[in-house]
Amino acid sequence: MNDANPVLELVKRLTVEELSAQGLETPDGIGPETRLFGKDGLLDSMALVSLVMSLEQEIAEQFGTEIALADDKALSQKHSPFRTIGSLVAYANGEIEAARGK
């Protein structure tokens, strides 16, 4: 995972936007290790829903790939892909690759 990853940059930007929409400031230095949801997570459940929808939309527009991040697979994974920025980025990248490989 490095900062040249466009999905990482996208998730970071959308996280900042979600926090800002709630009138919250983003902590310094957010990155792959930053907890998004659950214990010590930055986002509440509505903000997470909003982030996931925005991410799906941005990926469709920027990458031309339709993916569903909140499908049965994501919701049933033992370790939720929504727990950190890094896990969400990895999951989204995997879905983008899978969709392109179809």
The contact set with other proteins (CB under 8 A) reads: 46, 50, 53, 56-57, 60, 66
* Min separation Cβ 46 and other proteins, Å: 5
Cβ-based nearer residue to other proteins, 3 or 66: 66
Using the minimum distance from each CB to other proteins, give the nearer residue, 5 or 54: 54
Comparing C-alpha atoms, which of 92, 97, 89 is closest to residue 32? 89
Cα distances (Å, whole numbers) of residue 46 to 3, 28, 43, 51, 64: 27, 23, 8, 9, 26
CB of 57 to other proteins, least distance (A): 7
